[in-house]
Structure 1
Amino acid sequence: MKFSLEKSENLIAIFISILSLILFGLLIYSSATIISPIFLYTLILVFFLLNREQPVVKSVFILSTIIFSVWFINELLAVLTPFIIAFLIAYLLNPLIVFLEKKKIKRSLAALISILIILIITGLAISFVIPPFINQIGNLLNNAPQKISEIEKFFTERILPELNRFGILYPDIQKTLSTEIPAKLQSVLNGLLNGLLNIFSGISFIFNQIINLVVIPVITFYLLRDYDKISDTVVNLFNEEHRLTFIKVADRINRIFGNYIRGYLIVSLINGTIVTTGLTLIGVPYAVVLGILSALLNFIPYFGMVISLTIGFLVSVLSGLSGINLIFVPVVYIGENILESYFISPKIIGESVGLHPLLVLLALFVFGYFGGLIGMLIGVPVTALLISFVVDKE
């Protein structure tokens, strides 16, 4: 009888485990169908509370919570965006607030001063950078077809005869050089420029930015003012057994990511300023656009500079630049890169990441493959963080 009772209990445990797995599967399925994940997650929660002693049920509940959290955040991303931006700004500005506090300035006043500085910088950017940026993109978009036609003519009248003369030109190559490459180039350029123009000129974009310009500073102020209290609250969510571990991990993440992001923001700003100034001096018509693009791509080690140089040279050719001025275009990019690599970055970023160049390349390829542009942006600090944990384990 005792054996039969134990057997029944085992069967019940197996049944409960199978049922929990089915509910878990339905949660995943419902994320992309008409069934509400909120309703299903509530069922899983109730099921867990009634059968929490079952190990499989507990594991399924943890996985379900993670999946549901990702889905929930994704659904509310548009609503949460101002809070996410405000948190990032507060995180980046917190060292400045700490510095001002050491100078006997109250935290509330320090937060207010910092936000006012950011608003002034944003206002100056909107007034002096955005209008010429949009204007230059519009001009480049209007002139692109004519310049593409000139490139096609250059291929057919100059390049193709030379290749024919050496006997290395085949019909397929001729077709590619004379028609396919210019057509694809125009398509890519038009798509890129139209996308940028739509982003900065759309009515909904402007309306959203006006709202964000009011909401984000307010949220940022409260986050900065109560930064320490919020941090303490998060730490206190953990029991004493895990609190020290959490503090250690959070401190390491803050050190690696914080130094990397803050450092690269400053370096990228310097990068964009140097490139814009250099290209303006040699007469490139779209220097502001190329400078902003160079600053944004600067977050991608190695490849960012290559992409910026390629686009800058191509745009310079399309805009009619020639002679010694055209030769100086790569000189501006390469010169800035040398200046940044040997003088600017070591001073500002220092050894915050400390990865070998081969590991940096590997991180860029792997994270870029799985995560695209975002993967390339976060690949280096994430790799540095993982390696630091592995070294600690050893």
Structure 2
Amino acid sequence: MGEAGMSAERRILIWVAILAAIVVVLHVLSEVLLPFVVGAAVAYFLDPAAVRLERRGWSRTLATSVISAAFFLIVGAAILLLVPVLQAQIVEFATHLPGYIDRGWAVVQGALMEIQGRIAPEDFDRLRAALGSQAGGALSWLGELLKGFVSGGLALFNLLSLVFLTPLVTFYLLRDWPKVTSRIESWLPRADAKAILTVLSEIDAALAGFARGQALVCLTMGILYAAALSLAGLQFGLLVG
């Protein structure tokens, strides 16, 4: 019994060490592996569609080709249509941002003047100092956010590998997804393979349903908000949506 317990503990430690090593490698090579991670995520989300087409008699290669082409054509068309509009709205928002900040601070100052006579002078001074420090921190955070957004966008444009490699990775992973899962299953210890696969299947069903559902809800709400706010005449309707 003691040897069996030690053996089980040792197997757990080995799997934990392997997972930790994988996490460290992924973190160190995150920039290099980005197209592969994105491609794997897209293939994971598109696999059910490929399975449905296979059940209708399509070959895996044909189903993968049609699904991948349709997905990236839709994504590419959306980027070509939305990026110029979003870029224009972001530039316009950045231009008007100082005016918005001045107007917001004027509202805060007016509110402070109204409550000045209702509280003790020392409490009022502390409140005004706290608001001033919070406003400065918020402005600094907003500036860093905009700076990071711009630099990240420029870096993303320079990552041509993301544009060219992601569709290829998605295609080959989606085509060979059954082989990949079978190979991973072959690595599992035979004594615990059935239990592990049962747990992984339940996790996959829950995670896939949640992730796909959330993505669909976010996409639908984003489209509805952007369309409604733009039709209502909001200045940055698409950006807000």
Give the TM-score category using the shorter length.
0.7 to 0.9
Confirm or deny: 8 A CA contact 1:144 1:186 kept in the other structure.
no
Using the TM superposition, give the Cα deviation of residue 197 of structure 1 relative to its aligned residue in structure 2, in angstroms.
Answer: 2.4
1:247 correspondence with 2:197? yes
Using the TM superposition, give the Cα deviation of residue 59 of structure 1 relative to its aligned residue in structure 2, in angstroms.
Answer: 8.0
| Whole-Å separation in 2 of the counterparts to 1:175 and 1:248 | 58
Give the letter for the 2:218 counterpart.
S
SS in structure 2 at match of 1:105: coil
Give the letter for the 1:174 counterpart.
R
Using the TM superposition, give the Cα deviation of residue 88 of structure 1 relative to its aligned residue in structure 2, in angstroms.
Answer: 1.0
| Whole-Å separation in 2 of the counterparts to 1:96 and 1:252 | 19
Change (3 A) 1:239 1:198: closer
Using the TM superposition, give the Cα deviation of residue 228 of structure 1 relative to its aligned residue in structure 2, in angstroms.
Answer: 1.1
Structural mapping, 1:148-167, within 5 Å? 148-156=101-109, 158-167=110-119
Give the letter for the 1:235 counterpart.
E
Change (3 A) 1:238 1:161: closer
Confirm or deny: 8 A CA contact 1:133 1:289 kept in the other structure.
yes
Greater relative contact order (Cα < 8 A, sep 6+): 2
- Structure 1: runs of 5 or more not aligned: 1-53, 292-394
Q: Indicate the percent of aligned positions where both proteins have the same amino acid.
A: 23
Structural mapping, 1:147-296, within 5 Å? 147-156=100-109, 158-167=110-119, 170-177=124-131, 179-200=132-153, 202=154, 204-208=155-159, 210-291=160-241
Confirm or deny: 8 A CA contact 1:199 1:205 kept in the other structure.
yes
Change (3 A) 1:244 1:133: same
Using the TM superposition, give the Cα deviation of residue 135 of structure 1 relative to its aligned residue in structure 2, in angstroms.
Answer: 2.1
Confirm or deny: 8 A CA contact 1:137 1:197 kept in the other structure.
no
Out of 112, 129, 146, the residue aligned to residue 99 of structure 2 is 146
Change (3 A) 1:195 1:227: same
Give the letter for the 1:184 counterpart.
G
Using the TM superposition, give the Cα deviation of residue 153 of structure 1 relative to its aligned residue in structure 2, in angstroms.
Answer: 2.1
Confirm or deny: 8 A CA contact 1:138 1:197 kept in the other structure.
no
Confirm or deny: 8 A CA contact 2:34 2:162 kept in the other structure.
no
Scaled by the length of structure 1, the TM-score of the pair is: 0.53
Change (3 A) 1:71 1:161: closer
CA-based RMSD of the aligned residues comes to 2.5
Aligned to 1:13: none
Give the letter for the 1:263 counterpart.
G
Change (3 A) 1:61 1:221: same
Give the letter for the 2:91 counterpart.
G
Q: Deviations over 1:82-141 (max 9, x none)?
A: 222111111110100011112222211111111111111121222111222222222222
Give the letter for the 1:272 counterpart.
G
Give the letter for the 1:207 counterpart.
N
Scaled by the length of structure 2, the TM-score of the pair is: 0.84
Count of matched residue pairs: 231
Confirm or deny: 8 A CA contact 2:68 2:167 kept in the other structure.
yes
Using the TM superposition, give the Cα deviation of residue 251 of structure 1 relative to its aligned residue in structure 2, in angstroms.
Answer: 0.7
| Whole-Å separation in 2 of the counterparts to 1:67 and 1:182 | 41
1:109 correspondence with 2:62? yes
| Whole-Å separation in 2 of the counterparts to 1:109 and 1:119 | 16
Out of 27, 42, 51, the residue aligned to residue 98 of structure 1 is 51
Using the TM superposition, give the Cα deviation of residue 147 of structure 1 relative to its aligned residue in structure 2, in angstroms.
Answer: 1.6
Aligned to 1:370: none
Aligned to 2:41: 88
Give the letter for the 2:168 counterpart.
V
Give the letter for the 1:164 counterpart.
Q
| Whole-Å separation in 2 of the counterparts to 1:69 and 1:154 | 52
Out of 67, 78, 90, the residue aligned to residue 31 of structure 2 is 78
**Greater shift after overlay, 62-71 or 99-108?**
62-71
| Whole-Å separation in 1 of the counterparts to 2:116 and 2:189 | 77
Which is higher, the Rg of structure 1 or of structure 2? 1
SS in structure 1 at match of 2:233: coil
Change (3 A) 1:228 1:61: closer
SS in structure 2 at match of 1:155: helix
Q: Deviations over 1:277-319 (max 9, x none)?
A: 222233322222222xxxxxxxxxxxxxxxxxxxxxxxxxxxx
Change (3 A) 1:121 1:230: same
